[in-house]
Amino acid sequence: MNLVTRVCAVLGVLVLAACSGAGNSETVQALNKAQAVGSPFTKVLHAEYRDYTNMLQRTGDYADGVHFARKGLAAASGVIVMPETLDDWDLTDKDIIELTGGRTQLVDALENGGRELVSDKAGIAQARFDCWVEQQEENWGKEVPCKAQFWAALKAVQDVINAKPPAEEFPAPVAEAPKGEPVPVQQAMFIVFFDWDKYNLTAGANDVLDAVAQEIKSRQDVKGITVIGHTDSSGTEKYNDKLSMRRANAVKAGLVSRGIPESVVHIEGRGEHELLVKTADGVREPANRRAQMTLE
């Protein structure tokens, strides 16, 4: 993940100065200006990723800072972003084993009510896990503070999920609920990102689709899912319209392969017309290369 940093070190002063300019990235600026909407969980994630991004910027780790700024922006718009996937990071075998165990427990807790029941601790747990991954890459074989913070936050989430309500000695009679309009479906949003000029699903995107498929199958009130593909502003408008549809189709194919009926997946392509990060024309902004999924 810190490949850009290493390339800068190799190529010398001129490139290093250019890479340092990433500290003023439009993505980071947009994150700091963003007003979070969405669920309590995504709002906590936005705040956590914003703080961590700014810490990385202060320490000169601009490439990783921009990466987490992208996740923070997505969370600020109410989108559920997933914990880091380990394939994207340069880690030792020992660290991968330990982090894999932590991620498995974290995702299990999030998917079993953690986001809703204890949104503050769940958001902190995810952010601390991502911090653990990033810091562990920088410190092979050493203990990093985020690791202990992650396990403490995760335990707090697991304790709430596993807690059984105390049995009532004399249960109160249950009144019949008044009849009225059906409860509307609570919308859930997910997002995946793409490499520049690509529409193939990355390892991280596949993890998100696993979570989306599980969410759909676990709920009885989901009638469909809308997938909207987006691009950054590089390339022509006509080309980007087609690329955004290819991205939406790739996500649809991924969902169908996970057992979601093709008939309930609706796709759209918005091209470069709804940028997550506002940029000038012709800018390769990673945060804008995405597909967003909304449950209906």
Q: Report the CATH number that the domain containing residue 207 is assigned in CATH.
A: 3.30.1330.60
Are 120 and 228 in the same domain? no
Q: Give residue 229's pLDDT.
A: 96
284 vs 89: CA distance, rounded Å: 22
In this structure, the answer to whether residues 137 and 228 fall within a common structural domain is no
Range of 257's domain?
A: 189-295
As for how many domains the chain has, the answer is: 2
Instruction: Identify whether residues 157 and 117 lie together within a single domain.
Output: yes
Asked, for residue 251, whether it belongs to a domain, the answer is yes
Q: What is the pLDDT of residue 45?
A: 96
pLDDT given for residue 198 in this prediction:
94
Is 291 a member of any domain? yes
Q: Is 208 in the same domain as 79?
A: no
205 and 272, same structural domain? yes
Say whether both 23 and 154 belong to one domain. Answer: yes
Distance from chain centroid for Cα 266: 21
Which DSSP string do the residues of 231-252 spell out, in sequence order? --S-S-HHHHHHHHHHHHHHHH
Note down pLDDT in tens along the chain; length 296 residues: 644 333 333 333 333 333 444 445 788 988 998 888 888 999 999 999 999 999 999 999 999 999 999 999 989 988 889 999 998 899 999 999 999 999 999 999 998 899 999 999 999 999 999 999 999 999 877 889 999 999 999 999 999 999 856 544 544 454 444 443 332 345 567 888 999 999 999 888 888 899 889 888 888 888 889 999 999 999 899 999 999 999 999 999 999 999 999 999 999 999 999 898 888 899 888 889 999 998 88
**Which pTM does this prediction carry?**
0.66
CA 82 to CA 79: how far, in whole Å?
10
- Domain boundary, last residue among 144, 161, 178: 161
Asked if 154 and 71 sit in the same domain, the reply is: yes
Whether 145 and 73 map to the same domain: the answer is yes
pLDDT for 277 equals: 85
Whole-angstrom Cα distance, residue 48 to residue 124?
Answer: 7
